[in-house]
Structure 1
Amino acid sequence: MKRIAVLTSGGDSPGMNAAIRAVVRTALYYNLEPVGVMKGFEGLMDGEYFDMDRASVGGIIHRGGTVLRTARSDRFRTADGQRKAMEEIQKHGVDALAVIGGDGSFRGAEALGKMGLPVVGIPGTIDNDIAGTDVTIGYDTAVNTALSAVQKLRDTASSHDRLFIVEVMGRDAGFLALEVAVSTGAEYVVVPEIRLDIAKMCEQLHYSRKRGKTHSLIILAEGVMSALELKNQLQDTGGYDARVTVLGYIQRGGSPTSFDTILASRMGSFAVEALLEGRSGVMVGSVCGQMTLCPLEAAWKSPKNLNPEMLALVEKLGV
């Protein structure tokens, strides 16, 4: 093995640059030739490859986003697209590939692995919805970004005796919403994994008001419904007039936290060493603080459940 390529795919997440840096510098440490691929699988098919060195990744460890840029690719999902990618990979003398992204990116990596290319996945997504790892790159930063915003909203909610609904990202998973709810002291959390009982929520709001609570905060995962929809349901069912804030893509930006920077650095380095050991079709994970490997397909086939203790905390401490 001589040339190891690295790409980022799907949604960006803080810490991706730290992972790229770790892949490149670990490859150089082992006298390998690191290769960057621009724009994810699109660049893989279009021949957007370039040789990387230490200077290529200098000064990027603290930056959000991804210097390799990223894109979603319907074209790569086709057999023709995958054949085209393999042609370009062979043309550029790439012997192995590290893919930084989420489960969709890992499906693409698995397809290349089945065509004979050694591949390793590095989980990068703010959603934290990938099984096989306790935490994904970018999740901690997104939680802290949302925490900062919600703390400011909490100030104005208490000043004006208001009910606020804050919609956070997370796609079809409630990990981000749940951690933000606990860390902000929110009264309620709405996540895709648990059916919403709007009548019960109105009863709880009524109970809170009865005992003198004048303001409340609801954290809503985007995968359930929009914040405006929840606002309308609360109005129709209980007569509650809520203020709505959608945090949106601000959660995907910004410099990574120390936790995400270290996690990304460890994962990127571990991925290169796994390839050197002859491993392929696997994903790097962090389980109980230790670097591990599991099959790529675990990212979308194995369930990843919310922590029931955290769910209980919202109920115990919020109302």
Structure 2
Amino acid sequence: MRKIGVLTSGGDAPGMNAAIRAVVRKSIYHGIDAYGIYQGFSGLITGNIKKLEIGSVGDIIHRGGTILQSARCEEFKTDTGQRQGLACLEKHGIEGLIVIGGNGSYLGAKALSELGFPCIGVPGTIDNDIPGTQYTIGFDTALNTVLDAVDKIRDTATSHERTFVVEVMGRDAGDIALWAGLSGGAESILIPEEPYDMEDIAARIENGVKRGKKHSIIIVAEGVASGAEFAERLTEKTGLETRVSVLGHIQRGGTPTGFDRVLASRLGAKAVELLMEGKGGRAVGMEDGEVVDADLLTVLNKPKHIDHNLYQLSKELSI
């Protein structure tokens, strides 16, 4: 292996820069040239590729977003687009590619792998919805961003004696909502993986009011409903004044936590090691504190399950 490429694709996540840094410096340490592919698979098709040096990734470990930028690319979903991308890699003499991103990014890596080009997937998404790893790069930072917001919203909720509905990101995965709700002491948590009962939620709030509780926080994952729609239904049910906060894209930004920086560094380095060993079509991850890798196709076909014990615990503690 003489030349390795790296790109970020899909939604950005805090810690992606730390992963890029690890890929570049691990490669150079072993005498391998590192190439950055800008603007994801779109940049791969157009040949937006530059050689990266040690200094190219200096002072980025603490920065959110991705210095390689990201873009969604419909063209790369076609056979023509994939072969154009492959031709660009071959033109630059790149022999292996590391793709940092979520499910859509993994599909792109799989397509190139099926064309015979070695690719390694690195899980970078705040949603924590990639199988084969307990944690994805960016999840911990997003969780702490949400938690900070919930703590501040609780101050206002207490002052005005109101119920607040907080809508968080996660697409069809409920990890951000679940972890933020449990660690933030939310009265109710709504996630796509579990059904909810409006009667039960209303009863919880009303019982709290009867015993003198002045406020409530409800966390709603975007894959369940919009915060505004749910708040309207809740007000109709309880008659209580309800406010909504949609946290939106602040959850994707910000300085990555120490956990995300270490996770990204370990996973990025492992991806380089796999390419050096002549392996492709793999995805790296973290399981029980250890860096692991698995077949990329197996990871894509394997569902990611929510921790139902955590969900049950959140219900028991929010009585």
TM-score by length of 2: 0.98
Show structure 1 runs of 4+ deviating over 4 A: none
Q: Which residue of 2 aligns with 1:47?
A: 47
Q: Which residue of 2 aligns with 1:156?
A: 156
Deviation at 1:238, TM superposition (A): 2.6
Once residues 107 and 230 of structure 1 are traced to their aligned partners in structure 2, the CA distance between those partners, rounded to angstroms, is 34
Deviation at 1:187, TM superposition (A): 0.7
Determine if the alignment matches structure 1 residue 35 to structure 2 residue 39: no
Q: Which residue of 1 aligns with 2:122?
A: 122
Structure 2 alignment gaps of length 5 or more: none
Residue 237 of structure 2: SS of its match in structure 1? Answer: helix
- Paired letter, 2:306: L
- Paired letter, 2:209: R
Once residues 262 and 54 of structure 2 are traced to their aligned partners in structure 1, the CA distance between those partners, rounded to angstroms, is 18
Q: Which residue of 1 aligns with 2:145?
A: 145
Deviation at 1:25, TM superposition (A): 0.4
Q: Which residue of 1 aligns with 2:309?
A: 309
Alpha-carbon displacement from aligned partner over 1:82-112 (angstroms, at most 9, x marks no partner): 1111111111111000000001100000000
Structure 1 alignment gaps of length 5 or more: none
Deviation at 1:147, TM superposition (A): 0.7
Once residues 203 and 298 of structure 2 are traced to their aligned partners in structure 1, the CA distance between those partners, rounded to angstroms, is 40
Once residues 285 and 299 of structure 1 are traced to their aligned partners in structure 2, the CA distance between those partners, rounded to angstroms, is 10
> Aligned ranges for residues 98-117 of structure 1 at < 5 Å?
98-117=98-117
Deviation at 1:309, TM superposition (A): 2.1
Size of the alignment, in residue pairs? 319
Q: Which residue of 2 aligns with 1:179?
A: 179
CA RMSD of aligned residues (A): 0.9
Determine if the alignment matches structure 1 residue 89 to structure 2 residue 86: no
Q: Which residue of 2 aligns with 1:244?
A: 244
Once residues 300 and 160 of structure 1 are traced to their aligned partners in structure 2, the CA distance between those partners, rounded to angstroms, is 46
- Paired letter, 1:217: I
Once residues 235 and 182 of structure 1 are traced to their aligned partners in structure 2, the CA distance between those partners, rounded to angstroms, is 23
Q: Which residue of 2 aligns with 1:293?
A: 293
Once residues 193 and 300 of structure 2 are traced to their aligned partners in structure 1, the CA distance between those partners, rounded to angstroms, is 16
Once residues 239 and 299 of structure 2 are traced to their aligned partners in structure 1, the CA distance between those partners, rounded to angstroms, is 42
Residue 166 of structure 2: SS of its match in structure 1? Answer: strand
Deviation at 1:205, TM superposition (A): 1.4
- Paired letter, 2:305: N
Once residues 127 and 299 of structure 2 are traced to their aligned partners in structure 1, the CA distance between those partners, rounded to angstroms, is 12
> Aligned ranges for residues 155-234 of structure 1 at < 5 Å?
155-234=155-234
Deviation at 1:237, TM superposition (A): 2.5
Deviation at 1:155, TM superposition (A): 0.8
Once residues 280 and 158 of structure 2 are traced to their aligned partners in structure 1, the CA distance between those partners, rounded to angstroms, is 53
Residue 72 of structure 1: SS of its match in structure 2? Answer: coil
- Paired letter, 1:297: L
TM-score by length of 1: 0.98
